[in-house]
Amino acid sequence: MYLVKPRSAHQGFTLIELLVVIAIISIIAAILFPVFARAREKARQTACLSNTRQIGLALMEYTQDYDETVVLNDNTLGQFGSPAMKSWIDLLSPYIKGDGIFVCPSATDKEISHVFGIASRPAYTYALNNVYYWDPANVIYESGRMRSLAQFEDTSGTIFCGDSYHDPTSSDSLWGFQVSGDTYFPNTNPPTLGASPRRQGLFVARHSGGLNFVFFDGHAKWMTLSQTAQKNSAGTRLRYFTPALD
């Protein structure tokens, strides 16, 4: 009669067994790491959306305090880069708890700018709707006042600000766009906006192929790049960048 010799309690795994275990762990890791990365980015996207919602609330509070007048911006007055002027971020900051709200959690250091380029001024990664704030045909500025919300035909369909990239000297291939009038510049370093240099950055889709926007009625939402390029039914203007109904 033959007896099977029991495995020693101190006997280790064979080389093949170790390789099989390592291979299984590697496969599981390869499957789970992208899932974890997407979950982490989704959390950042949600945090960014929370930021934009707070900016929208600040915009509404500002307009209520100033007779429903839309927030001014230094560039609107033609005094580019003057530290004495107030940017829209300066003007909305009193309505927001912490300047960190103006920085997207997914933004890299390269994508962050400071008001007037001064490190002591607030950092930000959100850009204004340049069609509204740069195009004289879309801006009303009289006696120190900007356009009233009552003068908008479509506050809920007009972008105020959104995720952006702030490196005007970069020649990188960007996954974003800039707008000027009825012109949409996708995935490129576009030319200047009219007679003014582009100082407010490029809108950039850093959240799963889309970006978070604030609208002039204060609401915020995520949109894809293709949605932002939509024109009105007549095909004469960009749908979400001028304060008129489609």
Per-residue pLDDT tens over the stretch 47-78: 999 999 999 999 999 999 988 888 877 654 44
Whether 173 has a pLDDT exceeding 50, the answer reads no
Whether 190 has a pLDDT exceeding 80, the answer reads no
Whether 245 has a pLDDT exceeding 50, the answer reads yes
Q: Which one has a higher pLDDT value, 56 or 230?
A: 56
What per-residue confidence (pLDDT) applies to 19? 83
What is the pLDDT averaged over residues 82-93? 77
Model pLDDT for residues 25-52, shown as the tens digit of each residue: 888 877 767 766 767 878 889 999 999 9
Whether 11 has a pLDDT exceeding 70, the answer reads no
What per-residue confidence (pLDDT) applies to 184? 55
What per-residue confidence (pLDDT) applies to 235? 74
What per-residue confidence (pLDDT) applies to 191? 39
Model pLDDT for residues 152-169, shown as the tens digit of each residue: 888 999 999 999 876 555
As a whole number of angstroms, the distance between CA 171 and CA 158 comes to 29
What per-residue confidence (pLDDT) applies to 115? 78
What per-residue confidence (pLDDT) applies to 101? 94
What per-residue confidence (pLDDT) applies to 60? 96
What is the pLDDT averaged over residues 12-35? 78
pLDDT band for position 177 (50/70/90)?
low
Whether 180 has a pLDDT exceeding 80, the answer reads no
What per-residue confidence (pLDDT) applies to 200? 44
pTM greater than 0.85 (yes/no): no
pLDDT band for position 114 (50/70/90)?
confident
